[in-house]
Amino acid sequence: MTTNERLLKLATATPPLLAQVDAVLEGRRDRHPAPETRLLSISEAARQLSVSRMTVYRLKKAGRLATVQLPGGTNRISLASVQAFAAGATSEA
């Protein structure tokens, strides 16, 4: 990533992300990031939802869980997406 790309991302960052950047620059480390920024592995998402990993893959493929692809191709699921899905799933029952 170039310096200009970094500056552009910083200029358009959300307040929670800016708070994380501030913490890093000030030498603080947030041990519990906000749910909207925390990312879970497929296995962690499956445990949170009490479903199998295959079910998480199916939900991801159907677009029902927001995913982020990290460099190297690893996928992560946002905690906020898992919580929103769980809240929606319980309200439909």
pLDDT tier at 62 (50, 70, 90 boundaries)?
Answer: very high
Please give the pLDDT value at position 56.
Answer: 95
Please give the pLDDT value at position 68.
Answer: 87
- CATH 2.60.40.10 given to domain 34-93: no
- What share of the chain has pLDDT > 90, as a percent? 31
**What integer best gives the mean pLDDT of the chain?**
83
Contacts of 18 (CB under 8 A, 6+ apart): 10
Please give the pLDDT value at position 93.
Answer: 46
Q: In what order do the strands lie in the sheet with 75-78?
A: 39-40, 75-78, 67-69
pLDDT tier at 90 (50, 70, 90 boundaries)?
Answer: low
Please give the pLDDT value at position 59.
Answer: 94
